[in-house]
Amino acid sequence: MHRISDEQRRTRLGRRHLLAPSVRADSPVAAADAVVALHATDAATVFLAACARLTAPSVAAVERSLYEDVALVRLLSMRHTLFAISAELAPYVDASTARSIAVKERRTLVSHLAEDSNRLDETWLAEAEEAVLAALAMRGSATGSQLSADVPALKTKITIFPGKKYETVQGVATRVIRLLAADCRIRRDRPRGSWTSSQFRWTASDPWPALPVAEARAEIARRWLLSYGPATEADLKWWTGWTLGSVRKALADVGAEEVRLDEGTGYVAPGDTAPEPPVEPWAALLPALDPSAMAWDDRGFHFTADHRAELFDRAGNIGPTVWWNGQIIGGWAQRSDGEIVWRLLADAGGEATAAIEAQASRLRSWVGEARITPRFRTPMERELTA
C-alpha cells in the first residue's frame, strides 16, 4: 500500500488549497472549487476565505461572483450548514446532500403547523410560498421584513412543541423563506449594509437540474478527495454529514484508492498517489470556519490538540487561525480600530514571524474600513480583541 506522510499531506494542503503565494487563484470561483465549498454560515468568512486564496484580493470580485454573475451560490448542504459553491458544482451538492435536507426541513415545518392550534397544513404553506414568490416578482429583491409586510401569512405565529416544558411560540416568516431557499426557488441577494452583513435580501431563483443521487455523491467524493485526500472514511462522513454506508458507496463508486497514513488508512482519488511537488514556505491568516481548518474529523496532521481550547468554541467551531507551512500555529483577530493582531501558540522562528506579519499587512490592506467579528467567538479571538 502506498504511504503518504503527514508532511506530504501538509504540502498538498498548501498547494491544493491555494494558500502558498505561487499557486493562488485569479477568481473567487477557482478559490471555492479548490476547497470544494466555502463555509458561509458567517457572511464574512466567504470573503476572507476566498481572498486568502486570490492573487489580488477583492471584495468587489467576490460580490460580483455572488450577486451579478451568480457564479457562486449559497446552499444549505453539508452537515446542515450553509456553504458557497460554484454554480458548476451546485447541482451535485444539491442532489447529493441539499435535497434530502430540504425534504426534512419541509416535513418538520408541516408537522409543527399541524400541531399548532390553528391546524395549518401543506395547502396553507404552499399558498404562503406562492405569495412570497409573487411578492419577489413584483419587487425584484426584498428583505425578510419587506416580504412579511407584503405577505400577511408570514406574520403568522405558531406554537412549537405545545404542552411540553420547552414549548415556544415562533413566527413562520423565517421558516417559510428558509424552505424556499432550501428548494432553490429563491436565493440570497446583496445584504443590507456591507459585505460582512448577514441581513440578506432575497430574489427569485430556479431549482438545479435533477441528478441521480449516487452519481452526485460520487462526484462530490471525487472532488473532495482531490482537495483533501488522503483522508479517512470518518473524515468524509464528518464533512458531508452522510451515513457511513453512503460514504463507503461513494468511495467505491469513484474508485478511491487506499493509502497508508502516519496514523491508519486513508483514501485518495484514483491515481492520486504521486508525491506532491513542494511549494515555497508560506503563511496564511484564515478566517473562522475556513475549509482548510474544518474539513477533517481528525486534524492531527496539521493541528495540535493541546491548542483546541483556545482556538475552538464549545460547539466545535474553529476561530481565525494562523498557519505556517500547513500547520495551525496560532490565532488572529481584528480590533475595533482595524488593527490585525495575532498570537502564536508555538515558536516557528523568525522566517515564520516575518511571513505572518506580511500576511497581516496584506489582510489589512484589502479589508479597509470593514470590521470583522466572527459569529462564533473563541477564547483567543476574545482575548486578542480585549
Q: 230 preceded by cis ω (within 30°)?
A: yes
pLDDT of residue 98: 96
Greater confidence, 118 or 151? 151
Confidence class of residue 163 from pLDDT cuts 50, 70 and 90?
Answer: confident
pLDDT tens-digit profile of 85-96? 999 999 999 999
Residues contacting residue 148 through CB under 8 Å, at least 6 positions apart: 154, 155, 173
Look at the chain and count its residues: 386
Q: Is the pLDDT of residue 338 over 90?
A: yes
Q: Is the pLDDT of residue 117 over 90?
A: no
Task: Please give the pLDDT value at position 162.
Answer: 87
For the segment 242-246, the average pLDDT, to the nearest whole number, is 97
User: What is residue 154's predicted lDDT score, i.e. its pLDDT?
Assistant: 96
State the average pLDDT over residues 171-198. 95
Q: What percent of the chain has pLDDT over 90?
A: 94
What does the pLDDT look like over 306-334, one tens digit per residue?
Answer: 999 999 999 999 999 999 999 999 999 99
**Residue range(s) in the chain whose domain bears CATH number 1.10.10:** 99-204
pLDDT tens-place string over residues 62-77: 999 999 999 999 999 9
Give CA angle at 82 (76, 84), nearest 5°: 100
Cell of 260: 497508508
Residue type, 119: R
| pLDDT tens-digit map of 246-302 | 999 999 999 999 999 998 899 999 999 999 999 999 999 999 999 999 999 999 999
pLDDT of res. 48 = 98
Secondary structure of the chain as H, E, C letters: CCECCHHHHHHHHHHHCCCCHHHCECCHHHHHHHCCCEECCCHHHHHHHHHCCECCCCHHHHHHHHHHCCCEEEEECHHHCEEEEECCCHHHHHHHHHHHHHHHHHHHHHHHHHHCCCCCCHHHHHHHHHHHHHHHHHHCEECHHHHHHHCHHHHCEEEECCCCCCCEEEECHHHHHHHHHHCCCEEEEEECCCCCCCCEEEEECCCCCCCCHHHHHHHHHHHHHHHHCCECHHHHHHHHCCCHHHHHHHHHHHCCEEEECCCCEEEECCCCCCCCCCCCCCEEEECCCCHHHHCCCCCCCCCCHHHHHHHECCCCCECCEEEECCEEEEEEEECCCCCEEEEECCCCCHHHHHHHHHHHHHHHHHHCCCCCCCCCCCHHHHHHHC
Q: For residue 368, what pLDDT is reported?
A: 93
Q: Which amino acid is at 182?
A: A
Q: Would you say 235 and 296 are in contact if contact means Cβ atoms under 8 Å apart?
A: yes
Q: Give me the sheet containing 38-39, strands edge to edge.
A: 38-39, 82-86, 72-76
CA 194 from centre of chain: 19
Locate 142 and state its grid cell.
426584498
Distances from the Cα of 266 to the Cαs of 2, 170, 355, in angstroms? 10, 45, 32
Mean pLDDT on 8-31:
97
Per-residue confidence (pLDDT) for residue 13, from 0 to 100 = 96
CATH domain 99-204 topology: Arc Repressor Mutant, subunit A (1.10.10)
Average confidence (pLDDT) over 378-382: 96
CA distance 9 to 14: 9
Average confidence score pLDDT of the chain: 95
Question: 103: which residues sit within 8 A by CB, 6+ positions away?
Answer: none
CA 219 – CA 255 distance, rounded (Å): 11
CA distance linking residue 23 with residue 25, whole number of Å: 7
Distance CA 38, CA 328 (A): 19
Query: Dihedral of CA 280/284/37/32: which sign?
Result: negative
pLDDT digits (tens, 9 = 90+) for 362-375: 999 999 999 999 99
187-224 per-position pLDDT tens digit:
999 999 899 999 999 999 999 999 999 999 999 999 99
pLDDT value, residue 116: 86
pLDDT at 124 over 90: yes
Q: What is the pLDDT of residue 119?
A: 85
- In this predicted structure, the answer to whether residue 8 has a pLDDT above a threshold of 90 is yes
Is residue 1 very low, low, confident or very high in pLDDT (cuts 50, 70, 90)?
Answer: confident
Res. 137 pLDDT band, cuts 50 70 90: very high
